A = this chain, B = another copy of it.
Amino acid sequence: MSRAWQTFKKLPTMPVIPNFDPAAVSASVLERLRATLSTQEGFVPLHAPSFAGAEWEYVKECLDTGWVSTAGKFVERFEHELETYCGVKRAVAVCNGTAALHACLIVSGVRANDEVIIPSLTFVATANAVMYANAVPHFADAEEKTLGIDPTKLSSHLDRVGEMREGQCFNRETGRRIVAIVPMHTFGHPSQIDELMAIAKHFGLALIEDAAESLGSTYKGQHCGTFGRINAISFNGNKVITAGGGGALLTNDEDLADRAKHITTTAKLPHPYRYDHDVVGYNYRMPNLNAALGLAQLEQLPEFLRQKRSLALRYKEAFAGLPGLRFVSEPEFSSSNHWLNTLLLERGNEDALDTILKVTNDANLMTRPAWTPMHLLPIFEHCPRMILDTVESLAKRLINIPSSAGL
């Protein structure tokens, strides 16, 4: 495990592109951001929600009827509309995306001391959810094309460390069972699902999509979060739509959906007044108040996606021809929700990252680098992993730029 880190440390410095000047390119990035966003005044956040639909009406209805909490019709309506929108049999609304992913892992049979393959390039919630299940994250490298897990590298890695015994994959280095793979659709861009599904099948792994960032994204015409047996989405305040907090599990498996609903609502056995619980359950239900907000937001999702696609196209045009970096476009097999638009510095130009971040943030245009890769956080440095050189490189070259639908 420490070998991967040492490999990274010893990577030779890449040659800097001639005439690539961090200050000049930062000024140019700022100029192009301003031109694309034209009329924006004041602070421009990375992603802000927009409430232009039935938010007032539905939330007020909650208050007027007194049904703000665990009962009330909006949770059911929200779940139903999610099912219709995503083209999936069942949606189970919960309090946030992390809770959704935790519940996905439990109902998929992840047990203490199992290993779960997740991208190192992800928000910490993916790794945390694995920890809540007392399982162990096993980090996979990313590919530049999708920013998701690199299927080719994962396949080689599992060929090397995986040992099949009676249809189950074991890590021959740690002795632990490898039970699941959790691809995350980075910034809304779909990962290479077909290839990852094939790997999951070959090694007997459950595939669970962390589709927290990709509501509205499709892979070959099918909605992200509907490929794995059960999958997680998020409605956090910074996402493409929000329920205040909020998340959901998506699945075509009725039994898994029932199980997910059960364990996310304290695992109480149905009875008019008796309080019996058959497993350790969670208080993960989505309050009706939040579902009312989420429903109003979901109704506007097609328009948000249209606006976000238009913004992405404008960005793409604006940054075309700027040497040393490129705008990250959706993978060719997909339609991205363009949750967070992203610039990617070419290898060798890593020095410009901090300058660009500083210049843009100083100018009140919020930009952000990628998350610190999970395997570089001390809390996860002991976890198993493959060689993660692409993740480590991407983390020094990615810049998220303002992406709200309203821009």
A87, CB-defined interface residue at 8 Å: no
* Pairs across A and B, CB under 8 Å, 28 listed: A51-B63, A56-B63, A59-B59, A59-B289, A69-B237, A70-B238, A70-B245, A71-B237, A95-B96, A96-B283, A97-B283, A99-B283, A124-B267, A125-B266, A128-B266, A128-B282, A131-B280, A132-B132, A237-B287, A245-B290, A272-B361, A273-B368, A273-B369, A276-B372, A276-B377, A287-B290, A289-B289, A290-B290
Shortest CB-to-CB span from A310 to chain B, Å, is 21
Judging by beta carbons under 8 Å apart, are A66 and B95 in contact?
Answer: no
Chain B residues lying within 8 Å of A71, measured Cβ to Cβ, are: 237
A98, CB-defined interface residue at 8 Å: yes
Chain B residues lying within 8 Å of A275, measured Cβ to Cβ, are: 123-124, 371-372
- Which one of A134, A281, A361 has the greatest number of beta carbons of chain B within 10 Å? A281
Judging by beta carbons under 8 Å apart, are B368 and A245 in contact?
Answer: no
Contacts A50-B66, A273-B361, A290-B290 known; list 9 others, CB within 8 Å. Answer: A69-B237, A95-B95, A124-B275, A124-B277, A125-B266, A132-B132, A132-B280, A278-B378, A278-B379
Judging by beta carbons under 8 Å apart, are A274 and B369 in contact?
Answer: yes
| Number of chain A interface residues as a range | 35 or more
Shortest CB-to-CB span from A190 to chain B, Å, is 22
Chain B residues lying within 8 Å of A290, measured Cβ to Cβ, are: 244-245, 287, 289-290
Chain B residues lying within 8 Å of A285, measured Cβ to Cβ, are: 245
- Which one of A96, A244, A357 has the greatest number of beta carbons of chain B within 10 Å? A244
Judging by beta carbons under 8 Å apart, are B238 and A69 in contact?
Answer: yes
A163, CB-defined interface residue at 8 Å: no
A293, CB-defined interface residue at 8 Å: yes
Q: How far is the CA of A124 from the CA of B263 in the complex (A)?
A: 13
Judging by beta carbons under 8 Å apart, are A293 and B128 in contact?
Answer: no
User: What 9 A-B pairs come out closest when comparing CB atoms?
Assistant: A69-B237, A244-B287, A244-B289, A98-B283, A275-B371, A245-B287, A273-B368, A68-B244, A131-B280
Chain B residues lying within 8 Å of A96, measured Cβ to Cβ, are: 95, 283
Give chain A interface residues in 125-153, CB to chain B under 8 Å: 125, 128, 131-132, 134
Shortest CB-to-CB span from A41 to chain B, Å, is 16
Chain B residues lying within 8 Å of A320, measured Cβ to Cβ, are: none
Q: Which of B60, B128, B371 contacts A281 (CB 8 A)?
A: B128
A236, CB-defined interface residue at 8 Å: yes
Please encode chain A, from 56 to 97, with 1 for each CB lying within 8 Å of some chain B CB and 0 for all others.
Answer: 100110011010111100000000000000000000000111
Judging by beta carbons under 8 Å apart, are B273 and A357 in contact?
Answer: yes
Chain B residues lying within 8 Å of A368, measured Cβ to Cβ, are: 273
Judging by beta carbons under 8 Å apart, are A277 and B377 in contact?
Answer: yes
Chain B residues lying within 8 Å of A266, measured Cβ to Cβ, are: 124-125, 128
Chain B residues lying within 8 Å of A123, measured Cβ to Cβ, are: 275
Q: How far is the CA of A368 from the CA of B275 in the complex (A)?
A: 9
A48, CB-defined interface residue at 8 Å: yes
A55, CB-defined interface residue at 8 Å: yes
Q: How far is the CA of A51 from the CA of B55 in the complex (A)?
A: 18
Shortest CB-to-CB span from A105 to chain B, Å, is 14
Q: How far is the CA of A372 from the CA of B56 in the complex (A)?
A: 40
Chain B residues lying within 8 Å of A283, measured Cβ to Cβ, are: 96-99, 125, 128, 245
Shortest CB-to-CB span from A123 to chain B, Å, is 7
Q: How far is the CA of A357 from the CA of B96 in the complex (A)?
A: 36
Chain B residues lying within 8 Å of A287, measured Cβ to Cβ, are: 237, 244-245, 290
Chain B residues lying within 8 Å of A273, measured Cβ to Cβ, are: 357, 361, 367-369
Judging by beta carbons under 8 Å apart, are A372 and B274 in contact?
Answer: yes
Chain B residues lying within 8 Å of A278, measured Cβ to Cβ, are: 377-379
Judging by beta carbons under 8 Å apart, are B60 and A56 in contact?
Answer: yes
A363, CB-defined interface residue at 8 Å: no
